[in-house]
Amino acid sequence: MGDEIKEAALKELAEASSINGVLVYGQHGGFGLRVKCGSTDKMLITAKGTARLFGSLDSAMEFLRRMEIFRFEVDASTYKRALLRSPRPDRAEALKQTRTRPTQSQLW
């Protein structure tokens, strides 16, 4: 547990200028963050306690910019492109139902 950090704590550390470095690292399906504070290295986690993954390097960068962290390292050597979330065919079908297309009889 001691090597993990949540977004709120990261923001506090960033505001206090207590961050020595940030590593954005690639893995299967996305990018994670590791934050160096003093002599400890902490992994960014979600509120549920799982590793926080970003779908792209751009989304990780935007997150860090919102935290006002403008310098970071990138290690993409272990990155493997994949979906972060499994497809949701039920949502695709629901979206299709919301789209209205006029039928031939409605055009006349």
Q: What is the pLDDT of residues 21-34, one digit of tens each?
A: 999 999 888 999 99
Q: Which two tokens stand for residue 32?
A: 């994670």
- Angstrom distances, CA of residue 77 to CA of 24, 83, 103: 11, 18, 52
pTM: 0.72
- Provide the domain count of the chain: 1
CA distance linking residue 59 with residue 16, whole number of Å: 23
pLDDT digits (tens, 9 = 90+) for 57-77: 999 999 999 999 999 999 999
Taking a C-beta distance cutoff of 8 angstroms, is the pair 47, 20 a contact? no
Selected residue with higher pLDDT from 88 and 25: 25
Range of the domain at 91: 4-107
